[in-house]
Chain A
């Protein structure tokens, strides 16, 4: 027990840090969402639930996660496996694939907007080829609107998964590959029986990170579609700035927090060795 005091001293900075930047805002948030001028209340939560945009945002966010994440992981793993074969100009490929990581998501959204918008690059190319143009981002075409958001997010956020998978792959000794191939494994068998199981910890980290970040997706969709394709965090923004109602905004933010926690715990349990 002699050790308690120095131990406390040592972890004090991180306790203070966590309390100031996480615990206090959390308490403040919960208070804001459940406490009205006349004491505890559920009116903000009810107001949130009565808003049709909320349910659409929830559905869109879920849809985005379900479609986006498997695609991103498939792409990132394939890209990382390609890099593992040490292609020519591997360094250059790596930089190109990692560039999106350095670009802010709003900027990325604007770039893709310039491609998909009615008089954007895509339609110019189509027009030049004599193919009729299309209003990709019109609210009348929810499918292509969704597609545009998926493509933009895929471009923007796959590199994060890619970087994590690359780091994980570097921890897999080449001996394992060689042993597996001597013992008769095809490339696919090597990936399935040797490489992927070794990557499990990295994939787990990437999956948690990506899911949480996808729950928070906002700027790209906002830039491309405005409120035509509402997402949860976009709604928080709407309620806070457009509708000037921080209480409902906080309630939605708490929903995002709850979903993030459920996702993280779920992955950790699911992928336990």
Chain B
């Protein structure tokens, strides 16, 4: 077992004119499951490939288990990896595919067998060991790729969007299974995905990336609840965080003729514009004659089964509001919304960074 440390990693592709990873530093603790998440082109896969040794950084170092591996080829880094395309070998049977890493390491036959069978069992592949990959479904091929990666007992497990080729239902099932298996093995894992839900559900910590930098890193719920910048709030969560511009005025946030109580910490921003953010599920609806809260009009109501997602318009623009399934509303209805001060997050309207 080993941790991974990435220091000041810089990489520019010959064809690109900006850095794919821009001076990234990152520490993955021994046994930790870290997810790199971000929109496409944010450098997450490049970062993973540099850790794997499939890409050479222009600058910076990669350390695995205290050993500087920056200049070592992939095969000497003691890693294993699950590829987005699975990359399982079509000419080999499932058994040989799972045992590929062990074959390369020249593991003796009896041990080879027990380790391949153990990995196959863990992924429910025992009945398919003597088939060729062409005879398997997409989900089963995915399992073979994971089994191959865990059979080698590597110090560090890398996964590059392993679930993105599966259909939605299978992805959800396999996600939970993957989490269970990795937790049982306790391997240090670096996982790349563009799917924020996957990132939240799998990671011990989540690193949200943007334009070759890590925008924010932390426990999933921390990052979700307290986005460090506007981009993170807008990227994590479905629906994404709501943002509106408001003016701080004498302990209140003023938007048009509406106002919401502001926390005392905003005193230094008196009479200035700030950006406020709030999650859809933190907004409460008060129907009837109540006078507190702000006025809004329903534009769209989307029942999702377990909840209702409302799109409402108020003085500050559009808001997504998530509410319980019992509420009866129709487009055009007028509501009052409560935006609790404790759930509001405040950002600099220019930089998009959170206000301390």
Binding site for B on A (CB under 8 A): 173, 175-176, 178-186, 189, 193-194, 197-198, 200, 273
Contact = CB atoms under 8 A, between A and B. Distances in A.
7 contacts: A179-B83, A179-B89, A181-B75, A182-B75, A183-B81, A184-B75, A198-B90
A85 to B, nearest CB: 14
Interface string B147-171: 0100010000010000000000000
B264 interface: no
B100 interface: yes
Contacts of A197: 89, 91-92
Contact of B54 (A176, A178, A184): A178
B143 to A, nearest CB: 15
B35 to A, nearest CB: 20
Contact of B83 (A175, A186, A189, A194): A175
Contacts, number: 64
B75 A176 contact: no
Contacts of A194: 89
Contacts of A175: 83, 85, 87
- Among A181, A182, A197, max chain B CB count under 10 A is at A182
Contacts of B283: none
B101 interface: yes
A186 B91 contact: no
Given A178-B54, A178-B74, A179-B81, A185 B104 contact: yes
User: Which 10 pairs, one residue from A and one from B, show the smallest C-beta to C-beta distance?
Assistant: A183-B101, A175-B87, A179-B87, A184-B104, A197-B91, A181-B74, A184-B75, A182-B81, A185-B104, A182-B74
A83 B100 CA distance: 26
Contact of B80 (A173, A182, A185, A189): A182
A193 B103 contact: yes
Given A173-B85, A178-B83, A189-B104, A183 B148 contact: yes
Contacts of B87: 173, 175-176, 178-179
Given A180-B100, A181-B54, 19 more contacts: A173-B87, A175-B87, A176-B87, A176-B89, A178-B52, A178-B54, A178-B83, A179-B83, A179-B88, A180-B89, A181-B53, A182-B52, A182-B74, A183-B152, A184-B101, A186-B104, A193-B100, A197-B89, A198-B90
Contacts of B91: 197-198, 200, 273
Contacts of B79: 182
B291 interface: no
A231 to B, nearest CB: 37
Interface string B52-69: 111000000000000000
A87 to B, nearest CB: 15
A181 B152 CA distance: 13
Nearest to A183: B101
Interface string B116-148: 000000000000000000000000000000001
A171 to B, nearest CB: 11
Given A178-B54, A180-B100, A198-B91, A185 B85 contact: no
Nearest to A185: B104
Contacts of B332: none
Contact of B104 (A178, A183, A200): A183
Contacts of A180: 89, 100, 104
A127 B308 CA distance: 95
Nearest to A178: B54
Given A178-B54, A180-B100, A198-B91, A186 B85 contact: no
